[in-house]
Structure 1
Amino acid sequence: MMLSLFDQFMSPWLLGIPLIALALALPWTLLPTPSTRWLNNRLLTLQGWFINRFTQQLLQPMSLGGHKWALLLTSLMLYLITLNMLGLLPYTFTPTTQLSLNIGFAVPLWLATVVIGMRNQPTVALGHLLPEGTPTPLIPILIIIETISLFIRPLALGVRLTANLTAGHLLIQLIATAAFVLLPLMPTVALLTATLLFLLTLLEVAVAMIQAYVFVLLLSLYLQENV
């Protein structure tokens, strides 16, 4: 029976247990735990430098009210990067290719930013629905459009992450299959295809990191509007 290319994105089961739970729990065990010593090893030093730089860049444009989200946003960034990178390994499952999981990340965090804006500064939060200086006849239309765009934000967050990772995995599988098929027929073309596959894999490593950063960055921008 021929399998579809999209079967790689189905959640695997082993002995009746969904392995997506293991895939979601594994990244936390891979991150090194900081020690109480004055001097750390290179890995801990690099991790600390990365977290400090990322947090500084993310929270610098925000007011002090948004700095309470530093731990949550930084943890989410590290978690998504680790999930995306582990999904590039052979015989692994990428949970972030599931739209349901990404929507589950996006909707509660987006809703929290909206609730914070409505609670702390309702006038400013509602003012985003109508740009200043809008002509009177366009006011109802613009309010409807801005309201729709507000509710589309979590869907756009989840679909962006899912679509980028899914497209990359499909390309890698298609090019790898082509390289194996062409190897006994045209070795030179197969070698060129394997080189393209290597370059595409490097690109996917960059995409895995960039998409995690974009996800958290957009959340911080939504938060910045409401604090």
Structure 2
Amino acid sequence: MILSFFDQFMIPKMLGIPLIFLAILLPPLLITAPSKRILTDRLSTLQLWFMKLFAKQLMLPINLPGHKWTGILLSLMLLLLSMNLLGLLPYTFTPTTQLSMNMALAVPMWLATLLIGLRNQPTISLGHLLPEGTPTPLIPILIIIETISLFIRPIALGVRLTANLTAGHLLIQLISTAAFVLIPTMIITATITFTILLLLTLLEIAVAMIQAYVFVLLLSLYLQENV
């Protein structure tokens, strides 16, 4: 019974072909392309307003050279948001519950911010490994600790996104199973459980949106340190 709960996180296949490719390619197709018309429809206007608002909030604390990353971070945000929300629909698959998928997004982006800092301002980037005013006996220890914390950043990015989405999906699976099992015997308890399930679903929608935003926000903070 426990294994059946985790079967939802296995990559489904059809005719031997993993459906994760379809799950990754579907969200970009839902984003409307810019139109040449003077007046756009409501969906395009809402989408453009959201993208401008997010880009403004994300790039406000970053220096001007870091604004080149606006398109990359905005695209990553929309991709994660779309995959997280589409994964909550019935009979769908969430690619971001796979640690390999999240690490494939986190490691190259983190490494790019680090290499940019080492190329453009190597002294400042290496200076983050040693806080100012550190006593001389603690210098080797602090350098080791800061180096470890630096390399843990991409792991934390991927694990945070995976753990939050996995925990939410498991809770929904457990509570929905309990609700359907209790319907024939205890209707009142099943109704309460079903109400909790609806509230948890709303919470999971919020978590899916927040985790996509946190993922990109942390990347922007890493970029801010290196530009």
Taking structure 1 as the reference length, the TM-score comes to 0.98
Match of 1:58 in 2: 58
Residue 49 of structure 1: aligned partner = 49
Query: Which residue number in structure 1 is paired with residue 38 of structure 2?
Result: 38
Alignment partner of 1:215 is 2:218: no
> Following the alignment from structure 1 to structure 2, what is the Cα–Cα distance between the partners of residues 113 and 210?
22
Partner of 1:171: 171
Q: Name the aligned partner's letter for residue 57 of structure 2.
A: Q
- Measured after TM superposition, the shift of residue 4 of structure 1 is 2.6
Shift of 1:5: 1.2
Structure 1 runs (4+) greater than 2 angstroms displaced: 1-4
How high is the sequence identity, in percent, across the aligned residues? 73
Q: Match of 1:136, as an amino acid?
A: T
Give me the CA root mean square deviation.
1.0
Give distance in 2, aligned partners of 1:166 and 1:12.
Answer: 16
Amino acid at match of 2:69: W
Residues 68-217 of structure 1 mapped to structure 2, 5 A cutoff? 68-217=68-217
Q: Provide Cα deviations, 1:132-191, integer angstroms capped at 9, x if missing partner.
A: 011111000000000000000000000000000000000000000000000001011101
Q: Aligned-pair distance for 1:116?
A: 0.2
Q: Distance in 2 between matches of 1:37 and 1:208?
A: 33
Aligned counterpart, 2:5: 5
Question: Does the residue aligned with 1:4 lie in a helix, a strand or coil?
Answer: helix
> Aligned partners of 2:188 and 2:33: how far apart in 1?
47
1:193-223 alpha-carbon deviations (Å, 9 max, x no partner): 1110000000000000000000000000000
Counterpart CA distance in 2 for 1:148 and 1:65 is 27
Distance 2:32 2:193 in 1: 37
1:120/1:2 CA distance change after superposition, 3 Å: closer
Query: Which shows bigger deviation, 32-41 or 63-72?
Result: 32-41
Shift of 1:3: 4.4
Q: Which 5+ residue runs of structure 1 have no aligned equivalent?
A: none
Q: Provide, for residues 89-134 of structure 1, a one-character-per-residue CA deviation record: whole Å limited to 9, x for no partner.
A: 0010000000000000000000000000000000000000000011
How many positions carry a matched residue from both structures? 227
1:42 CA drift (Å): 1.1
Mapped to 2, the partners of 1:4 and 1:149 lie a distance apart of 36
Deviation at 1:29, TM superposition (A): 1.0
Give the letter for the 2:183 counterpart. Answer: L
